[in-house]
Amino acid sequence: MRNEKKKSPRRSTASKAAQQMMMGGMPQEEEEVLQSPMQMVIHDFLRDKIAMIGVILFTFIFLCCVFLPYFFPIDLYYQDVTQANVAPGFGMLNVPAGLKNNAQDLSVGSSFSVGLDKDGNVYEWGTFPNAKLKNIPSAKETGKLVQISAGLDHVVAVNEDGQVFTWGNDRMGLNSIPMELRTGGNDIKQIMAGYQISLALTEDGEMYNWGSQYLLSITYPEGVQGNIDKFAASTNIVMVLTKDGEVVPLTNKTSAYTNIPEEIQGDVVDLAITDESAAAVTSDGRVYTWGNNIKKTLNVPEEIQGQVASLSAGRYHYTAILKDGSVFSWGDNTHGQANAPKDTGIASVDAGYYANYAITEDGQVIAWGLKGYLMGTDAFGRDLFRRLLVGGRMTMTVGAISVVISTIIGILVGGISGYKGGKVDNLLMRLTEIVSSIPFLPFCIILSSILGNSISETQRIILIMCILGLLSWPGIARLVRGSVLAEREQEFVTAAKALGVKEAGIIFRHILPNIITVIIVNATLNFATCMLTESSLSFIGFGVNEPNATWGNMLTGAQNGQVIANYWWRWLFPAMLLGICTISINCIGDGLRDAIDPKSKER
Amino acid sequence: MGKGRYLLKRFVYIVFVFFIISILMFAIYKSMPGDPVDIMLGDSKTSMKPDAYQALYDKTVKDLGLDKPLPVQYVAWMGNMLTGEFGYSTQYKQEVINIISAPMINTVLLNILTMIVVFIIAIPLGIVTAVRKNGAFDKTVQVVTIVGYSIPTFIVALLAIFLLAVKFPIFPISGVKSAGLNATGLEYVLDRLWHMALPVLVMSVSGIGGITRYVRAAMIDVLRMDYIKTARAKGLREKTVVYIHAFRNALIPVVTITTWWVVGLFGGSIVIESVFLWPGLGKMLIDGLLQRDFAVVLTMQMFYVVLSLAGNVIMDIAYTIVDPRVRLED
């Protein structure tokens, strides 16, 4: 019995008439305090603690997945192997206290950093991709170190005698330091640990390189060795600046990097390379850039032109020290690496990967850039937190649309079948049985694999929604049919028939509003099932594919014991979220059912 | 109508459903990418002269009956399927019929064991929680079971691997038997069981969760009935009331859900087999799809269809056994 004042607009005149008939002699005052069935359901539901916790948790996750991607945008095609499998945490820029006012040299590695204080002590912080990085040689072995550089997963350092040391990853020839550098005696001007390669330059302009030759092949053009002033390297290329102020790429292949502007040759004072472009500073303080303009690294801000003293580069950004001692960054700013501080009096800057360290003239350290990842990264160096957000959105979208499809079909089939009865009912119910005897998961797999072969990824996602929707409606159809069978004998249906309402009108405008609660409960539970099926499909690789993220395919990479044991964050977070969501939805469904069906409450 | 006629009617109907689904399967078969003749002839395309190849091609088309109209092709295909000629596997270079027995045994073994575990745990648990409804034990079981059936099996699998194979290496991560083991008798059986423990455990979790809740709900409904009161009033022992009078009637809804669960179990074991590298039908289906070995894929599909329909038949038979009212149905 509904409260007269809160009557839903869906209710027709016929049902009103029926209701008034039923409530005939009831005094109006008493009716005011009566609760409508809907109010009772809501009241009971709100008192169900487990269901409410479910509602809160699911709503929270849902809202996060819907709105947070706008604040944490993601480029689905972005990958960076240097950031692969980084553990969760924000400690990458936590410069140790011992270094804070006494810094000699700092260097940014892939997900860790190293530093030297003025007494030659080594500090390491961040997350370490290789356990061997912790085997820092003792001060007895090394003497006083003066320069240090961090690479992908190894460190190179040099002491005051010019002896070079390395630790961390020792494969691919990274530990085979050239003899001349091992014994010392050279004045080392610059060292660098790169992507599985190490480089060193002596004051005489001789350059040495050791490590892997596969990723970076270095060929020295004639007359360059012995005449090198500085070098710069990225994962793709090494370039040197000769003592004559010329930029020379150490390669024999032409590429966007070798396309050096002619007008600057002979006038260059500093050089820096990101992964996609190169930049040079000329003696008048102007910056010239060339290469690919990915992440806007070529867009040098006009206001610093003519004032640049030196340059340093990370993977997709540049940081320049201006002549007045302040710093300026441009390029990719995903991790805040281009938000240079306003401080002045900067003596040197080391930019690398996604972070920067600046050392002021009095030895203070200022850091900005990538602090770490909330939930770590996956095997392709993608931020798990951001992928979880868009993945959740995808999982929920697929689940929701499948449920909408299956519910609409279920209501149509069940409604018509239940109301019409007879041959139509028989036919539709046989159809329902046929669909429900189709083995669900195997058919989803085979359909998505065969039909999804020749279509784009977006069409594929739509296809999966349709497959899930088209195969999961029998349950809801049976339920609707049962409820319609019960409802069609009610007086208000007779009243509607007597008023001459069309059949479709009776089914969908008069009967349907009365069984909508049952449908909602079923759709809720169905939503959980569809999310699960989508995740299972994506998990075994027949659902939504990379680079699109869903909670299911984020777990695909975590199937072997190695990953499960060592990179817990890669499977724990998606698994937890998916688990919490499905448990919440099932709790909500159970709570709704208990609230609606007074019989089930006694259970 | 007697039980026999009811069953016969259901059986005829199931054959009809099978016919409809087989048309669907045939449509899938015809829409599979790649020319089946090209696949069958394999390398000969590159090694033979073009006109000789064309002649061979035409001959194969004729031999396979691919030049005939679709209904004729369907009948021929169906005939092959029913007589066990599932086609030639390009991946194993053998007739499919020769290679499916081992994976089939593996899958059936895995699923039967899971079923046994689930029934042994879920049915008594459901009854006990129904009898002591709303007690502390019941409440705990309620929470545990809702978690159990909500969590996706592959997540349970990851957790189980992490806890029982990585952190505490009690069970092997994958495989069916220890490498190089040629023990016989009891030792062999124990080794197999040891390897099956983890997959069975994982697959049981959701089954136990779901079935316990169903048994409990059905039992509570039944225990409210008047005839239970009568049985108690007669002075029957509580055990007799619960296990004989109530449980038999509670079985009716349980049978329905159990059949669906068993059919779903076989489907769901695809995921589990892929996680635990269990060489069963599910893994064969996935490998077949990845290797584009469609003869295998279609055979697996047929297996799942037959299984699902067999589930329906078993459900009908079980109904006639547990519910005497079935014969009144028209």
Contacts of B161 in chain A (CB under 8 A): 561, 564
What's the Cα-to-Cα distance from A444 to each of A462, A540, A556, rounded to whole Å? 13, 12, 18
Mean pLDDT of chain A: 83
Give A590's contacts (C-beta < 8 A, 6+ positions apart). Answer: A50, A51, B146
Q: What's the pLDDT tens digit per position in A527-562? A: 988 998 899 889 888 888 888 889 988 888 777 778
pLDDT greater than 80 at residue A20: no
Of the residues B32, B158, B166, B330, the best mutation for testing chain A's interface (the one with the most A CB atoms within 10 Å of its CB) is B158
Burial of A463-483, coded b for 16+ CB within 10 Å and e otherwise, reads ebbebbbbbbbbbbbbbbbeb
Contact B17 A535 (CB under 8 A): no
Taking CB atoms and an 8 Å limit, are B300 and A443 in contact across chains? no
- With residue B132 as reference, give the H or E element that holds it: none
> Using one digit for the tens of pLDDT, what is the confidence trace for A46-103?
888 888 999 999 999 999 998 998 888 888 888 888 888 888 888 888 888 878 788 8
Q: Which of residues 22-51 of A touch B (CB under 8 A)?
A: 50
> Which residues of chain A does B307 touch, with a Cβ-Cβ cutoff of 8 Å?
439
CB contact under 8 A, A528 and B151: no
Per the CB < 8 Å rule, is B301 touching A451?
no
The pLDDT value recorded for residue B8 is 84
**What residue in B sits closest to A571 (Cα-Cα)?**
B158
Contacts of B274 in chain A (CB under 8 A): 540, 559
pLDDT digits (tens, 9 = 90+) for B279-316: 888 888 888 888 877 778 888 888 888 888 888 788 77
B-proximal residues of A, 531-570, CB under 8 Å = 532, 535-536, 539-542, 555, 558-559, 561, 564-565, 568
The residue type at A293: N
Q: How confident is the model at residue A403 (pLDDT cuts 50, 70, 90)?
A: very high
User: Looking at the predicted structure, is the pLDDT value of residue A325 above 50?
Assistant: yes
Whether the per-residue pLDDT at B262 is higher than 90: the answer is no
Q: Work out the pLDDT band at A31, boundaries 50, 70, 90.
A: low
| pLDDT tier, A402 (very low <50, low <70, confident <90, very high otherwise) | very high
* Residues on chain B touching A588 (C-beta within 8 angstroms): none
pLDDT tens per residue across span A425-453:
888 988 888 888 888 888 888 888 887 77
pLDDT of residue A2: 40
Per-residue confidence at A12, pLDDT binned at 50, 70, 90? Answer: very low
For residue A544, give the nearest of A468, A464, A450 by alpha carbon.
Answer: A464
Please report residues of A whose CB lies closer than 8 A to that of B150.
Answer: 528, 579, 582-583, 585-586
Q: What percentage of chain A reaches a pLDDT higher than 70?
A: 93
3-state DSSP percent of chain A in helix, strand and coil, to 5: 45, 20, 35
Closest approach of chain B CAs to the CA of A528, in angstroms?
8
Pairing of strands A327-331, A317-322: antiparallel
ipTM over 0.90: no
Query: Is some CB atom of chain B closer than 8 A to the CB atom of A454?
Result: yes
**pTM recorded for the entire structure:** 0.83
Q: Once rounded to an integer, what is the mean pLDDT over residues A123-137?
A: 84
Instruction: Pick from A449, A538, A553 the residue to mutate for testing the B interface (most B CBs within 10 Å).
Output: A449
Residue of B150, B173, B221 with shortest CB distance to A583: B150
Measured between beta carbons, the chain B residues lying within 8 angstroms of A564 are 158, 161-162, 166
* Burial status of residue A325 (CB atoms within 10 A of its CB: 0-12, 13-18, 19 or more): middle
Residues A280-290 have a mean pLDDT of 86
Does A455 contact B at CB distance below 8 Å?
Answer: no
Is B42 in CB contact (< 8 Å) with chain A? no
Percent of chain B with pLDDT over 70: 92
Residues of B within 8 A of A578 (CB-CB) are: 152, 155
Per-residue model confidence as pLDDT tens digits over A214-265:
777 788 888 888 888 888 888 888 888 888 888 888 887 778 788 888 888 8
Question: Are B309 and A433 within 8 A, CB to CB?
Answer: no
Using CA coordinates, name the residue in chain B closest to A448.
B289
Closest CA to A330 of A309, A356, A348, A306: A356
Residues 582-601 of A with CB under 8 A from B: 582-583, 585-587, 590, 600
- Interface touch B150/A528, C-beta < 8 Å: yes
Inspect the interface and report whether the beta carbons of A583 and B289 lie closer than 8 Å: no
pLDDT tens figures, B74-130: 888 888 888 877 777 777 777 888 888 888 888 888 888 999 999 999 999 999 998
Judged against a pLDDT cut of 70, whether residue A17 lies above it is answered with no
Which positions in chain B touch A432 (Cβ < 8 Å)?
Answer: none
Tell me the sheet residues that pair with A167.
Answer: A155
DSSP A394: H
Long-range pairs for A301-306 at CB < 8 Å and ≥24 separation?
A301/A328, A301/A330, A304/A328
Contact call for residues B142 and B214 (beta carbons, < 8 A): no
Distance from CA of B130 to the nearest CA of A (A): 8
Residue B175, pLDDT above cutoff 80: no
Does B161 contact A564 at a Cβ distance shorter than 8 Å? yes
Q: Could you write out the three-class secondary structure of A181-247?
A: HHHCCCCEEEEEECCCEEEEEECCCCEEEEECCCCCCCCCCCCCCCCEEEEEECCCCEEEEECCCCE
Interface check for B220 against chain A (CB to CB < 8 A): the answer is yes
Helix (H, G, I), strand (E, B) or coil at B198: helix
Closest-CA residue in chain A for B220? A603
Give the residue from chain B lying closest to A554, CA to CA.
B155
When the pLDDT of each residue in chain B is averaged and rounded to a whole number, the result is 82
| pLDDT of res. A434 | 85
**By mean pLDDT, which of A236-240, A499-503, B166-170, B251-255 is the weakest?**
B251-255
**3-state SS class at B230:** helix
pLDDT of residue B34: 67
Residues 6+ apart with CB under 8 A from A92: A111, A112, A113, A125, A126, A127, A355, A370, A371, A372
Chain A residues whose beta carbon lies within 8 Å of the beta carbon of residue B268: 441, 536
